[in-house]
Copies of this chain bind each other. A is one copy, B any other.
Amino acid sequence: MILTVTLNAALDLTYRVPHLVPHASHRVREVTERPGGKGLNVARVLAALGFATTVTGFAGGETGRVLRTLLAADTADAAKDTAGGSGSLTDALVQVAGRTRRTVGIVDETTGDTTQLNEPGPHIAPEEWDGFLTAYRELLGRGAEAVALCGSLPPGVPVGAYATLVREARTAGIPALLDTSGEPLRRGLAARPDIVKPNAEELAGITGTAEPLRAARAAQRRGAHAVAASLGADGMLLVTQDGAWSAAVPERLAGNPTGAGDSAVAGLLSGLAEELPWPDRLARAVALSAATVRSPVAGEFDGPTYERMLPSVRVRKAETP
């Protein structure tokens, strides 16, 4: 089982409007709701790839109830879609008193742009955080092969939360991937996670270095065993103790980059669980990202595109600048 943690899960709403004009009133033509937050997106991709996946984190209030109902539908889909029957999605979210946040993505049908509004998360009480730690330890003990720690922290959760979760995973002997930003990333790094997956901006933010390879090496020195940096259209850069590689698809892709980073995490994590060599993990991450950019549905990857992309990903040794 692969475990993903989403402490600040969200109910993602997408509104399609003919054209977004500030100060005007708009009729929303179409509303879609889906369970959101990085870890939930990662889990959906893993389940579609055929992995048994468990999601944890917090959910509460009416929005949390809707999120869990939609997640149950995804779970049923995961069981149906993977013909081998191996892919699954198990809800192990921890109930809290606060209300799960919403995010609203407003898609402008004229420009194709998306404007994003993210609510703050619910306030997590100290005893709720303690309850989560107990549940997390229990899940690690149920034979998790790898764990992904994803996204922002809701108010009330200690800023060193990810450092704690990384240490717990190490105690249990389970490799941990960390995908967050700012101070939680800085603190998490110090706990020596197996992989961190910042994007170029997050990497520059914590290292003060804009050049990706130099910055990735700096992040590695701060504690991560491996640093996988997503560089948008330039693909990914991976720095490990065994070497450094960069990888990209051979063509520039047009499409919607929403969720591409989460698909990359799913690629790295599945490769980690299967103990693939590093270049193969990287190729998988890049191909899944590309297949997500090309998918007609935001945040989902297109299976045939993934199969087609995987052998075409170019992985090269990266040289110290």
Q: Which residues of A contact B (CB under 8 A)?
A: 15, 17, 20-29, 31, 62-63, 65-66, 104, 106, 108, 111, 113-120
Asked if residues A26 and B62 are in contact (CB atoms below 8 Å), the reply is no
Give CA–CA (A104, B102) in the complex, Å. Answer: 12
Query: A117 contacts which of B23, B63, B106, B114 (Cβ < 8 Å)?
Result: B106
Asked if residues B25 and A22 are in contact (CB atoms below 8 Å), the reply is no
Give CA–CA (A15, B104) in the complex, Å. Answer: 11
Asked if residues A118 and B23 are in contact (CB atoms below 8 Å), the reply is no
Give every chain B residue within 8 A of A118 (Cβ-Cβ): 25-28
Asked if residues A15 and B115 are in contact (CB atoms below 8 Å), the reply is no
A298 to chain B, nearest CB (A): 14
Asked if residues B116 and A26 are in contact (CB atoms below 8 Å), the reply is yes
Asked if residues A26 and B117 are in contact (CB atoms below 8 Å), the reply is yes
Asked if residues B111 and A23 are in contact (CB atoms below 8 Å), the reply is yes
Give CA–CA (A24, B118) in the complex, Å. Answer: 11
Asked if residues B104 and A25 are in contact (CB atoms below 8 Å), the reply is no
Give every chain B residue within 8 A of A26 (Cβ-Cβ): 115-118
Query: A66 contacts which of B25, B62, B115 (Cβ < 8 Å)?
Result: B62
Asked if residues A25 and B116 are in contact (CB atoms below 8 Å), the reply is yes
Give CA–CA (A43, B187) in the complex, Å. Answer: 52
Give CA–CA (A63, B119) in the complex, Å. Answer: 17
Q: List 8 A-B contacts (CB under 8 A).
A: A21-B115, A22-B108, A22-B115, A24-B115, A26-B115, A27-B120, A62-B63, A62-B65
Q: Which residue of B lies closest to A108 (CB)?
A: B22
Asked if residues A120 and B23 are in contact (CB atoms below 8 Å), the reply is no
A200 to chain B, nearest CB (A): 16
With A20-B22, A22-B22 already in contact, the answer to whether A117 and B62 are too (CB < 8 A) is: no
Give every chain B residue within 8 A of A115 (Cβ-Cβ): 20-26
Residue from A111, A113, A118 with most neighbouring chain B CB atoms (10 Å) = A118
Give CA–CA (A200, B118) in the complex, Å. Answer: 36
